[in-house]
């Protein structure tokens, strides 16, 4: 065919099957037949490329090991002293994870009125060789803390904060 898509009886039967049961079939390259709710669409789906060096795991209170560093997460109250690497634990959405950078990461840093791409922040502040080793704390909405960069505005400590999560990072 003109789009380099193979057409044969098996392919037609496969498409018929997803029309009945839902699902998707790769037609060629990034082109897929996708059936959902009795609707068949031919669409392009670009794969998300994640570095082989990606690390991502649920954050535990206490000590976590991330790429040779000890990342300690401690719950404190507003009566305790806390560092600038602290944020409102009750503002986290879903499960908090420790990970490194991901394509498309963005963060609105505490005190900023704008959102920045992590790529731009890294280009201006972090040496290229160090970038995959920078620790992120993220929730279902994205990064809330980036080592050597700061915390997100959406989790900043306010007068209403009751539970503070303090992060400390020590190289081993």
Q: What is the pLDDT of residue 147?
A: 96
Q: Would the pLDDT of 172 be above 70?
A: no
Structure tokens belonging to residue 30: 């990034």
Q: Please write the tens of the pLDDT for every residue from 118-171.
A: 999 999 999 888 898 999 999 999 999 999 999 999 999 999 999 999 999 998
CA 160 vs CA 95, 100, 125: distances in Å: 22, 30, 32
Q: What is the pLDDT of residue 80?
A: 84
Q: Would the pLDDT of 98 be above 70?
A: yes
Mean pLDDT of the chain: 88
Structure tokens belonging to residue 166: 């303090």
Best-predicted range by mean pLDDT (26-30, 83-87, 146-150):
146-150
Q: Would the pLDDT of 49 be above 70?
A: no
Nearest to 60 by CA among 151, 167, 144, 171: 167
Nearest to 164 by CA among 148, 145, 146: 145
Q: Are 100 and 53 in contact (CB under 8 A)?
A: yes
């Amino acid at each position: 065919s003109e789009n380099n898509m193979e057409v044969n009886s098996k392919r037609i039967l496969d498409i018929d099957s997803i029309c009945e049961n839902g699902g998707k079939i790769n037609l060629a390259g990034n082109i897929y037949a996708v059936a959902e709710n009795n609707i068949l669409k031919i669409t392009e789906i670009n794969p998300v490329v994640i570095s082989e060096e990606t690390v991502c795991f649920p954050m535990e209170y206490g000590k976590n090991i991330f790429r040779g560093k000890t990342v300690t997460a401690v719950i404190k109250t507003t009566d305790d002293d806390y560092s600038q690497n602290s944020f409102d634990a009750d503002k986290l959405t879903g499960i908090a994870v420790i990970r490194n950078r991901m394509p498309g990461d963005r963060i609105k840093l505490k005190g900023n009125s704008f959102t920045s791409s992590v790529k731009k922040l890294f280009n201006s502040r972090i040496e290229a060789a160090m970038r995959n080793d920078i620790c992120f704390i993220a929730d279902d909405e994205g990064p809330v803390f980036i080592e050597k960069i700061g915390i997100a505005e959406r989790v900043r400590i306010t007068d209403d904060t009751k539970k503070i999560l303090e992060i400390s990072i020590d190289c081993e």
